[in-house]
Amino acid sequence: MGRDYYASLEINRSATDADIKKAYRRLALKFHPQSNRNPGSEERFIELAEAYDVLSDLRKKATYDTFGEEGLKGGIPPEIAANGAWSSGYVYHGNPDKTFRQFFGGDNPFADFCTQDGNEVDINFGGLRGRGVRKQDPPIERDLHLALEDLFYGCTKKIKISRRVMNEDGHTSSIKDKILTITVKPGWNEGTRITFQKEGDQDPNNIPADIIFIVRQKPHPRFTRQNADLTYTAHISLEMALTGFAVEVETLDGRLLNIPVNDIVHPEYSKVVPGEGMPLSSHPSTKGDLIIQFKTLYPEKLTPEKRQLLKQALTM
């Protein structure tokens, strides 16, 4: 009988991807050799890593669910494999620390548990053996992707994080979820940093890390942004460029601007509409400008008659 990866993670076969991640996080932290020196913990840590490596991958999981460990590791013939199932033999890379680091995205909860001289520190619920020196973990930075409309109006974003918190005994810890609320102000720029102090994993020996969210603006279908100014590109014909026209621009707040252009539109020409850009974060009632750029579409061909008429018109 093959290995039961679900039992290894202490979940049932109906577990969702989120359930699989939550179970691995809890058990990997519990049985990591740097936090658990009990006999068998290292073997259990390796077992957890292989179970997570299989069940977190849709193709491997599909093969395992259908054919078991024997089919997963022995390989499935192409004529039998279906629905994206694994068709070649699976071999675990054998490095549970690699799986652990990949899961935590490089934020290894145990990375700092070494003294400056490189000697390992005993963290098996015993702390820093009398040293009593606490340092803060490095900040954890995450991107906060926002639409241009979110940055125009302002909005509220709620983000759920999972972190280790100390239990009441002051020695053991558990994983708990927490909701962080970010109030986005109108006019925030790309790169704005929002800091939640000491909201990282708790530890009896270290000060929790700050969690920092960095604003990243999503691309917009109509506008590009430069600080408080918005740029819109209008496509016009050669006739319009030479004779004048009006361009319609739908603003971020849903208004339709009808802007006359009476100048000749040359390649470096742009039209500035004051006060129709982004609000200033320091003074939301004040807005930047809307800059309209133009792309002139030239005719691909001209008949001899039209070419002659155009020459006459331009030489008058």
pLDDT in tens, 173-226: 888 899 999 999 999 999 999 999 999 988 877 889 999 999 999 999 999 999
Using the 3D structure, point to which of 219, 234, 254 is the last residue of a domain: 219
> Tokens standing for 159?
């983000």
Residues 190 and 280 in one domain: no
The CATH number of whichever domain residue 8 belongs to comes to: 1.10.287.110
**Span 116-170, pLDDT tens digits:** 343 443 333 333 333 446 788 889 999 999 999 999 999 999 999 998 888 887 7
Among the listed residues 275, 136, 291, the one whose alpha carbon sits nearest the alpha carbon of residue 209: 136
Domain count of the chain?
3
Residues 167 and 256 in one domain: no
Instruction: Check residue 279 and report its DSSP letter.
Output: B
Other Cβ atoms closer than 10 A to 6: 18
In a domain, 112, yes or no: yes
Residues 18 and 101 in one domain: yes
Is residue 62 within 8 Å of 83, Cβ to Cβ? Answer: yes
Q: 282 is in which domain, residue-wise? A: 223-315
Name the band, by pLDDT with cuts 50, 70 and 90, for residue 82. low
Using the 3D structure, point to which of 195, 219, 243 is the last residue of a domain: 219
Looking at residue 122, what is its pLDDT?
39
Exposed/middle/buried for residue 99 (C-beta within 10 Å: 0-12, 13-18, 19+): buried
Using the 3D structure, point to which of 85, 110, 129 is the last residue of a domain: 129
3-state secondary structure of 141: strand
Please tell me the number of Cα atoms within 13 Å of 143 on its side-chain side: 7
Residues 4 and 122 in one domain: yes
CA 116 to chain centre: 34
Handedness of CA 94, 98, 104, 105 (dihedral sign): negative
Tokens 């018109």 belong to which residue? Answer: 313
**Span 284-308, pLDDT tens digits:** 889 999 999 999 998 888 888 888 8
Tokens 């820093």 belong to which residue? Answer: 128
Q: Can you tell me the distance from the alpha carbon of 122 to that of 129, in angstroms, rounded to the nearest whole number?
A: 7
> Tokens standing for 302?
């001209």
Residues 253 and 305 in one domain: yes
Q: Can you tell me the distance from the alpha carbon of 40 to that of 99, in angstroms, rounded to the nearest whole number?
A: 19
- pLDDT exceeds cutoff 80 at 75: no
In a domain, 90, yes or no: no
Q: Can you tell me the distance from the alpha carbon of 279 to that of 252, in angstroms, rounded to the nearest whole number?
A: 11
Residues 21 and 44 in one domain: yes
